[in-house]
């Protein structure tokens, strides 16, 4: 079909923006950085709107982790007596629980990040990575807030106040956030063509928590377990990350694999997430139509 007469090419000197070409990774990341306020406002708007109709409002940011910690303390600390002589079981459980909740939130919100913003994707042109990024920001803010009740409880119950060891919190949060971002990117784009993933994410998060040293320390429980299983659980990304958190929050000695394990997982998953998301990104609007 020949183009209609009124579509003959016209010489036009002004610089054109080509919408059909894809940006390189560099320009993409610059565009993403320019949209950082958008990601932040999306995250905060999401958190605010979830509590907008409650009486206690933003107090829930603090109450939610407290109630969660209370439930787990009751079930595992008191009823099942998982503490096995650990004098500071409360600190151990809460540090693991709050840190794991960060990963679980980003994974769950990441699964909805793209699919629940279909109208935004249909009408606005922006780097889609903003959406899973805002899911991570939401989880990070909630986690940072939950550190306040953690220090209050751990401090009063066992004297675990912040000290020099708390500096380890910085690399721990950086590795953890990189890991979560990679996870969120992967889940957000893969759930669009394979909606079935959205149904499994919650179950995966639950089994993952029980296979991680959240409620019980792996080393003690694994004394009688096969060597290969012990190895596998050590390579669990959350094992290293939680190890770093316990160094930072409870001043427990960290093992070498805590450091290299969490660094490798953080870097690897982030790179993988960025690559997969970039490949999937231009296909997303087709699936959402």
Partner 1 sequence: MTPDTPPPDAGRRPPKRRRAGRAAGEASPQQAGRAQGEGAGRRHERRVARLAALQEERKAARIAARRAERKAARAAERRAARLAAAQEEARQAAADPDALPPADAPLGVVARHLTVEFRPFSERRPSLRRHGLEALRRHEKPIVAVDDVSLNIYRGEALGIIGSNGAGKTTLLRVLAGTLPSDTGTVEVYSEEPPTMLSLGAGFNRNLSGRRNIYLGGLAAGLQRDQIDAMFDDIVEYSGLGEAIDRPASTYSSGMFARLTFAVAIRRRPQILLLDEVFAVGDQAFRKKSSETMKELLADAGTIVMVSHSLGRLRVFCHRLAWMESGRLMAVGNPQAVAAMYLAHLGMTEEEEEDD
**Counting contacts by CB under 8 A, is residue 16 touching partner 1?**
yes
Residue 88 Cβ, how far from partner 1 at the closest point, in Å?
A: 40
CA pair distance 229, 237, nearest whole angstrom: 15
Residue 40 Cβ, how far from partner 1 at the closest point, in Å?
A: 9
**Counting contacts by CB under 8 A, is residue 161 touching partner 1?**
no
Taking alpha carbons only, the member of 42, 20, 30 closest to residue 117 is: 42
Residue 275: CB atoms within 10 A of its CB come to 14
**Counting contacts by CB under 8 A, is residue 151 touching partner 1?**
no
CA pair distance 239, 235, nearest whole angstrom: 7
Which residue in the set 25, 33, 34, 161 belongs to the binding site for partner 1 (CB under 8 A)? 34
CB-wise, 194 or 235, nearer to partner 1? 194
Handedness of CA 76, 80, 81, 84 (dihedral sign): negative
Largest CA distance in the chain: 86
| Unique residue bearing structure tokens 């002004």 | 14
> Measured between alpha carbons, how far apart are the two ends of the chain, in Å?
27
Which residue in the set 97, 107, 114, 121 belongs to the binding site for partner 1 (CB under 8 A)? 121
CB-wise, 34 or 206, nearer to partner 1? 34
Judged by CB under 8 A, which stretch of 63-71, 103-111, 262-270, 279-287 contacts partner 1? 279-287
Which residue in the set 24, 26, 37, 253 belongs to the binding site for partner 1 (CB under 8 A)? 37
Instruction: Return the residues of window 178-217 that contact partner 1 according to CB under 8 A.
Output: 192-196
C-alpha angle with apex 53: 49 to 57, nearest 5 degrees? 80
Which residue in the set 26, 55, 85, 125 belongs to the binding site for partner 1 (CB under 8 A)? 125
Structure tokens at 218: 């792996």
| Unique residue bearing structure tokens 């933003």 | 58
Judged by CB under 8 A, which stretch of 50-58, 164-172, 215-223, 256-264 contacts partner 1? 50-58
CA pair distance 163, 59, nearest whole angstrom: 27
**Counting contacts by CB under 8 A, is residue 84 touching partner 1?**
no
By three-state DSSP, how is residue 99 classified? helix
Q: Cβ(187)–Cβ(273) under 8 Å?
A: no
CB-wise, 43 or 178, nearer to partner 1? 43
- Measured in degrees and rounded to the nearest 5, phi and psi for residue 5 equal -60, -35
**Counting contacts by CB under 8 A, is residue 279 touching partner 1?**
no
Judged by CB under 8 A, which stretch of 16-24, 56-64, 152-160, 257-265 contacts partner 1? 16-24
Q: Cβ(228)–Cβ(116) under 8 Å?
A: no
Which residue in the set 24, 55, 119, 256 belongs to the binding site for partner 1 (CB under 8 A)? 119
**Counting contacts by CB under 8 A, is residue 55 touching partner 1?**
no
CB-wise, 110 or 240, nearer to partner 1? 110
- Measured in degrees and rounded to the nearest 5, phi and psi for residue 107 equal -70, -45
What are the residues binding partner 1 (CB under 8 A)?
Answer: 1, 3-7, 9-10, 12, 14-20, 34-35, 37-38, 41-42, 45-46, 48-50, 52-53, 117, 119-126, 192-196, 282, 285-287, 289
């Amino acid at each position: 079909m020949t183009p209609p007469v009124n579509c003959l090419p016209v010489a036009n000197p002004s610089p054109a923006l080509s919408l059909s070409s894809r940006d390189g990774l560099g320009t993409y990341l610059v565009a993403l950085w320019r949209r950082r306020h958008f990601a932040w406002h999306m995250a905060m708007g999401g958190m605010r709107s979830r509590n907008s109709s409650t009486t206690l409002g933003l107090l829930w940011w603090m109450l939610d982790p407290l109630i969660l910690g209370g439930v787990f303390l009751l079930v595992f600390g008191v009823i099942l007596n998982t503490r096995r002589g650990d004098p500071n079981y409360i600190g151990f459980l809460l540090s693991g629980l709050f840190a794991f909740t960060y990963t679980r939130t980003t994974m769950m919100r990441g699964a909805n990040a793209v699919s629940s913003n279909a109208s935004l994707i249909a009408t606005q042109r922006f780097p889609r990575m903003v959406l899973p990024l805002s899911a991570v920001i939401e989880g990070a803010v909630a986690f940072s807030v939950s550190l306040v009740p953690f220090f209050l409880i751990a401090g009063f119950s066992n004297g675990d106040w912040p000290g020099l060891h708390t500096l380890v919190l910085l690399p721990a949060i950086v590795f953890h956030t990189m890991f979560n971002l990679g996870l969120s990117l992967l889940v957000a784009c893969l759930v669009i063509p394979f909606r079935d993933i959205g149904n499994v994410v919650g179950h995966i998060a639950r089994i993952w928590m029980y296979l991680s040293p959240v409620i019980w320390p792996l080393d003690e429980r694994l004394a009688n377990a096969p060597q290969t299983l012990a190895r596998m659980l050590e390579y669990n990304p959350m094992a290293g990350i939680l190890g770093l958190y316990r160094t930072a929050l409870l001043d427990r000695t960290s093992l070498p694999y805590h450091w290299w394990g969490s660094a490798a997982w953080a870097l690897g998953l982030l790179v993988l997430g960025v690559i997969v998301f970039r490949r999937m990104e231009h296909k997303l609007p087709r699936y959402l139509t």
